[in-house]
Structure 1
């Protein structure tokens, strides 16, 4: 912030004093930061307003409380319109901020008595909202009169007829786009407050995951729009779908077809009889279309740098090459008209696609890579004549005569009978086992790697060697949600909130130790351990056979929380790759002698042998091992 901005911020919060005029920028920042820090402490303790930290907090409404807020839309920068899912009331709130916290005050409440209002949108001078209630729901509108809303609600379309069950709603061009969650379609509503025409826009009404013109949805719900693109959430499939019109792509392909026809790249049986000048005019139209596309992308994205392709436009190099082609063709046409106008009819524009200059110099250097100036001048006439044969519509087939410009050695002629023959290989059929082995080898080692070019590195996606469709997520399990069962939804939300509010006993990535089959095991948690949780996910580290202080990583599994003996601090261990190394002191502290299982001191063994029956004494002596060092327990 500048000094003027800091001074304005202090004045807005009532902290400005006349003596602050002489303060430097650092002093002004320190004064403002002190006020922010003091207010942060009070807001964090209250926990019911939006703070300036990273965590979103509850917005405090001064006048009343909204039981189940759902639909939301904004009016300007300081007003909100919120719908109550239970009562169907629509509240208009005004927001006030002191620079750190935001509070809301109620301006107006519209009692609609229409439940299940999930989505709202503001268009022109009306607030439109969608209700999913099968009996009373549909698409409604409320007129906005200045700073307030009208008390009467107008129903545009009812649920049950052309619209089965409305859910999402958004502005789309001159009308509205909405989701029919029961009919599994995206529909358009046009002519609001006049004809109220409802038409299908996307989806065929079948359950599935198909894309394309005959798209299928599981349960389309929320949606939003950006320019001409519609984004839809399929809540049953857990996916986000994109609906876009194909008309921009068709228009681009039309101009691309015009470009190819103008330069003569067509099918063999298709000809273009346009003149050279008309073709240049077509190329100029294509160039203007690309420039217009770039300008629209710049206006929409706000990008001022050079467009290179990922933004949805042709790269700047391609546009520059097209402009260079147009200028070069115009210069050729002007030169031909100046020297010999009748030659214009014989000129082939397709020949200009080849690298004429490179071909000319290659022919000039035929047989001599470094010709003298005199040699270069002597060959110029013949090389130019041969080159003109390629760029004109000659009646004969070129490169078949004896005087071709290709260099021929003296002994280059070979009789056809002298050419060695190669016999065809004997046909052999691979067995099923050989085919299976080849397929396995191909899947593991035989994937081709696409070579990247300079343009490919800047204008193309680089996900790997396979097409983008191969990396798409597969179809998920379908789980439809009953949006009309409000109580069930609220119970699920309450249960989830209770689960998230449980106290965390051990945080994620904590090291613990426990006994598994009478052996010491170290584990690292993969999730938080909360109260009343019976099992927790973790990575097991098993003790090495010859090095008891080292624990090697094993498989991921679940352990019972009741079996956890304690925790280990990360500072007390050494981690090397997949191995955890404990110190001697730590090892002896977490594994006392009596808990070691198969280790015990000699004195304790003699005392226990006196209590054992005689038939078991021999067996116990054979199974037990003595501890050599009293300061270190070696468990092998």
Structure 2
């Protein structure tokens, strides 16, 4: 019995722990990334219907304050009404960089103004290239999917780096006119020299491995010969050994290669013609060596393709000029996200907007990351089915123990129905663990950084909710309300009245009396107390009665003009951040709703600056991307005539 008492589950704290994992990490639920900040984005959705429904169901404190350990918050975000709203949204677009709700020193608007390429390792890390068009230098930056996203700069001052890819946890970076750079993202590369104490030991080790002590970096040939190469890599325990193979020459019209991706035996290539004319997407069959055209620029379905990546049964591409993210599958092109308007609106994919989407990367064929180079943003496009199932699971857990808000009625359930609901919750959460382990071939325990809830929450708390009854008495039908926080804490608090730290013997000896006193406290029993008149407190003498104290008259209400109202609003928006910020666990005064209206804390929208890609070649530099403050200029009329010319490709219908 003592062992069972020490394992009494606390449903309230279990739900809070699960909610904290959901708040702090971008979890993988049904393969989709999910976080509390996405619900905050939906509460300010560009879609009026979604925004209106969620604002009626959730106050701002439910989604803004991620560290709030309140029961009512968990009940509200997991309510069936909120789940129904989430299921009505097919895809959501959410900013992970910059952080707009909880700015940090390494993640706030304006820090990474021009992300031009990105990729993900699939286990919670996104690597992207931030290009400076003024200095022609690039930075390699890693973002970890925490809330807020943790950002680390890996490399700086790279020469016109505009492309990278990640394979097996290693990032390969292409630079202009120099070597291919390899960076370890989710695994280390190279040999550890910490145990080598002297130069002599280093030289002896290098000699045994057949390496030169003057350096091991190899130079790769220049790309001026316009040829596609394949580098076969293998690890020799020290680094990488590469074998360069020539695949195929560029076609004459493929003057600029923008992006490439491999799907099975097909190599998809997005390209532009000389001086930026023409362009589109072709794929190269690596087995047969045949080049086939998928689609061209300046058509009804595609204005100007830039970045591409494999996604489900086709490819996803960023349409730079029309400001859409689209999908090509079996000869058909459909729009995934974007309205075509210039802006940075978030929320439902059908109502969001982009500035200049230039690069896309897919994760697990469920999530898309998009670079918006104009607004300096990394956007996440994902579904909400996994989020809806997760919140429904959390709602079942609380209903099984009878936890509800004051205004809602509780449906009476039998102990068997409650236990069944708990088992369904454990089954769903266990499936998320197994899916993540199978996806990344992991044998170790997973936690928030891997996209699952805490392992401690799963095994120590959730499992005990069912094991407590099955191990003690399988035929016993418990009332799970007896395991709530108030009952459990009152029982243990009364046990410490007699001894602060009772031993096991003392606890067993006093358990009967403790339980009897607890029953007395929670039972309605009749007791009438009679006191003498002398025990009453006499009324003190006073010079004046309370009702006789004069009251101040409230001033009459007066209306102000719209001009004065606008003046007050502008002043509050400009000078409203004068409240002293008290920091407690990264929770400042501004995150506690109610101190001042939220519009006083809202940051101004980052204007951003567009990049104009100049495709003309010169002797000084092959890439002349210039930074301007105007929108992308439209192509001239010759582009339409160029599309009508024969490019020498074979289209999907077999015509040349």
| TM-score using structure 1 length | 0.50
Q: Larger relative contact order (C-alpha < 8 A, sep ≥ 6)? A: 2
Structure number with greater Rg is 1
| TM-score using structure 2 length | 0.48
